[in-house]
Structure 1
């Protein structure tokens, strides 16, 4: 959320406007540099990793329709879709903050960021809940979490986030400094509206999911601790232990993603909006604006963190990755042998 903060008073005649923030600061150099570096690094990794993840999921045949795979496929689709908007953002920042594309593309890029952010949060929450059910209540997990129901839940997440993020479609191209700008609120009154939207998103899109994830994590740890004394050396017991360990790894990685990517952004964004709307001191406001830029880059990086979650938490995903690598190696070997054979024929 890129807000331009004012560090010089805006006056009308001999009076300073009371309706405008008293601080104006166009910190474009820092903002554009940070976003350019971040998106240059994110785009190829996010696009290739998430497209590759979708390919691997589709190769899983029998495991493809498991509830966890359904959620992870939707998560990869969300991250992959967001990565497609990064070239437009890069073109904007490389041009020094000049938007050369249609207005609807600007609105779509803003909208896609928030759709990706909150679908990612909700899909990660759903993954944690599925893992808790699998560990703590395996019978209910098999009866309740069918692939069809999981897919309907995912569609509900897309619909809820898509409709809730619709107000951001109103933030399109604005003219500032004689240039067409994107990704910036058009006028000061919009800051108050953004602050209200921020609290709705904070409550429903971050705090409530984070509470659910924390509850799932504590319940899984509690269940594993209670079961630790019942371990035996049988093969089935060892398999259950491995499954529970993977559950702990999954929820731990999800929690780390929340703490690294989502918590700083929501916290700093809220403080920054209060600084802008409450006319805090310029030094504090400018420092918070730079912090928003940094934490937004962290939030965008969740699109490359999630593929790591697929790899380290899903055994079938790792096996399919190895199968894909061996298949590519075999194809390369066959191509090289074919080229060598043609070369020998041509020489003879």
Structure 2
């Protein structure tokens, strides 16, 4: 790894500021890179913010209405997921304002720090909560007796609180990265100097190991064990009612673990891979074209990671039968109330016409 002064010179050569006249291809490519990154974030956050906020707040309403389901360990985890995603979505309007203004931060410094911190807290709390959800499903399928005794809502809530504390403390260093100035313009979401890049590289490996690789291999273990157990017990046993119940539980388990695995592969794996390569490119002084292409890759994969907050509600819907039933009941109640209001208005209008 090159020293901090060489790194600073290398960054200055590659990341020419937009206020510098375009005198070479590197400068022009940086203009294109900023425009590409900002457009990608704007489009993504314009979609993610309303969908993630409305879907997760709606999911919380459904969960709180399910009095019996609140005694379920899985429901406790899903409620924590919905809280994490809805909280993260509230930071997206600030990010949108920043990128729409061309990368100038006109809000307080503490809001910049909170937005950076909130992204990583949401990212890794989602990963660990999804892992916990898969472990609960694995325990329910492979060791149902232990699941009944161990996976109580109270114990699950304590585990969720432990996850929040671990992620909150581990993400604490990102609170130190606030507003910086580049060519006189206030910037957010950008490391301030070469020391910051080196520190982020270290934090990247902490997040990569404890926040992605260990959870990912845990997910693969759970998926493999569940599939083996379901394949081994696929034959018809007992009454048709019991067989139907087992088939329904198998389908729900496969849906849950399959969707969690797909979320890891689509939302989390590309981001961690490209982010690690990009940080090594910056700290290792790789060629400028490689560095800038990786920076574009980070922008795209970060958009995929942020979209996780609007994917999780699909997991609640397709993996939880009672959640679907509650959604249908809420929709039926809404339609009935609208129909009743329409009939009342029609009745009053007819009475006015006859008097």
TM-score, length basis structure 1: 0.93
Cα deviation for residue 18 of structure 1 reads 2.1
Instruction: Work out which of the residue numbers 66, 72, 85 in structure 1 matches 2:72.
Output: 66
Rate the CA distance shift 1:109–1:234 in 2: closer, same or farther, 3 A.
same
Q: Distance in 1 between matches of 2:216 and 2:223?
A: 10
Instruction: Work out which of the residue numbers 333, 339, 344 in structure 2 matches 1:338.
Output: 344
Instruction: Work out which of the residue numbers 119, 144, 147 in structure 1 matches 2:125.
Output: 119
Instruction: Work out which of the residue numbers 182, 188, 202 in structure 1 matches 2:188.
Output: 182
For the pair 1:165 / 2:171, whether they are aligned, the reply is yes
Which secondary structure state, in structure 1, belongs to the residue aligned with residue 68 of structure 2?
A: helix
Structure 1 moving runs of 4+ over 6 Å: none
Q: Distance in 2 between matches of 1:174 and 1:98?
A: 10
Q: CA RMSD in A?
A: 1.3
Q: Distance in 2 between matches of 1:278 and 1:98?
A: 28
Rate the CA distance shift 1:168–1:17 in 2: closer, same or farther, 3 A.
closer
Q: Is the 8 A contact 1:118 1:161 kept in 2?
A: yes
2:14 is aligned to 24
Cα deviation for residue 234 of structure 1 reads 2.7
Q: Is the 8 A contact 1:54 1:76 kept in 2?
A: yes
2:44 is aligned to 38
Q: Distance in 2 between matches of 1:139 and 1:21?
A: 62
1:211 is aligned to 217
Larger CA deviation: 212-221 vs 225-234: 225-234
Which secondary structure state, in structure 2, belongs to the residue aligned with residue 206 of structure 1?
A: helix
Q: Distance in 2 between matches of 1:42 and 1:219?
A: 34
Cα deviation for residue 292 of structure 1 reads 0.3
Q: Summarize deviations over 1:246-284 as a string: whole Å, max 9, x none.
A: 101100100000000000000000000000000011111
Q: Summarize deviations over 1:126-151 as a string: whole Å, max 9, x none.
A: 00000001111111101100000011
Instruction: Work out which of the residue numbers 130, 133, 137 in structure 1 matches 2:136.
Output: 130
Q: Distance in 2 between matches of 1:17 and 1:197?
A: 21
Rate the CA distance shift 1:292–1:21 in 2: closer, same or farther, 3 A.
farther
Q: Distance in 1 between matches of 2:288 and 2:106?
A: 32
Which secondary structure state, in structure 2, belongs to the residue aligned with residue 228 of structure 1?
A: coil
Rate the CA distance shift 1:215–1:196 in 2: closer, same or farther, 3 A.
same
Written as runs of structure 1 = structure 2, the 5 A alignment for 1:318-337 is 318-337=324-343
Rate the CA distance shift 1:213–1:17 in 2: closer, same or farther, 3 A.
closer
1:50 is aligned to 56
Q: Is the 8 A contact 1:21 1:277 kept in 2?
A: no
Q: Summarize deviations over 1:313-348 as a string: whole Å, max 9, x none.
A: 000000000000001001111111222223223332
Which secondary structure state, in structure 2, belongs to the residue aligned with residue 61 of structure 1?
A: coil
Q: Distance in 2 between matches of 1:244 and 1:135?
A: 8
Cα deviation for residue 19 of structure 1 reads 4.1
Q: Distance in 1 between matches of 2:7 and 2:78?
A: 46
Q: Distance in 1 between matches of 2:235 and 2:242?
A: 16
Written as runs of structure 1 = structure 2, the 5 A alignment for 1:1-348 is 17-20=5-8, 22=10, 23-25=13-15, 26=30, 27-229=33-235, 231-232=237-238, 234-347=240-353, 348=355
Larger CA deviation: 338-347 vs 280-289: 338-347
TM-score, length basis structure 2: 0.91
Gaps of 5+ in 2: 16-29
Q: Summarize deviations over 1:266-317 as a string: whole Å, max 9, x none.
A: 0000000000000011111111000000000000000011000000000000
2:21 is aligned to none
User: Between Structure 1 and Structure 2, how many residues are aligned?
Assistant: 333
1:9 is aligned to none
Q: Is the 8 A contact 1:232 1:238 kept in 2?
A: no
2:24 is aligned to none
Q: Is the 8 A contact 2:317 2:324 kept in 1?
A: yes
Gaps of 5+ in 1: 1-15
